[in-house]
Structure 1
Amino acid sequence: MSIGALDLSTILILFGWIPFWWAVALISLYRMNQNGKKAREDPTEVDSI
């Protein structure tokens, strides 16, 4: 019984955290891309992330 509960909690943790980190990574890439576009359009303005 405990093995089944452990597997269930492990699955919940994996399926709960992996999409969260994917969202963080995608948002970070999107922000870097936006800053890169800004830097290419206006070379005098440098944005720090």
Structure 2
Amino acid sequence: MTNKHASKQHCLVGNIRPKSKLRKRKNKAKARARREERQAEKASAEA
């Protein structure tokens, strides 16, 4: 006999937390920086 039923009742097992959106926000900032950097390189190459 296990304690699985009780641990589920008290939310100690089988609970998946939602992923944080902060990681997405940081990645977007990094991507924006990379994009701007690439555009600057392209502009200097054309000039």
Greater relative contact order, per chain length (Cα 8 Å cut-off, separation 6+): 1
Q: What percentage of aligned pairs have identical amino acids? A: 9
TM-score scaled by structure 2? Answer: 0.61
Q: Which runs of 5+ in 2 are unaligned?
A: 1-10
Instruction: Detail structure 1 runs of 4+ shifted over 4 Å in the superposition.
Output: none
TM-score scaled by structure 1? Answer: 0.59
| Matched length | 35
Higher helix share: 1
Q: Which protein shows a greater Rg?
A: 2
User: How well do the aligned residues superpose, as a CA RMSD in angstroms?
Assistant: 1.4
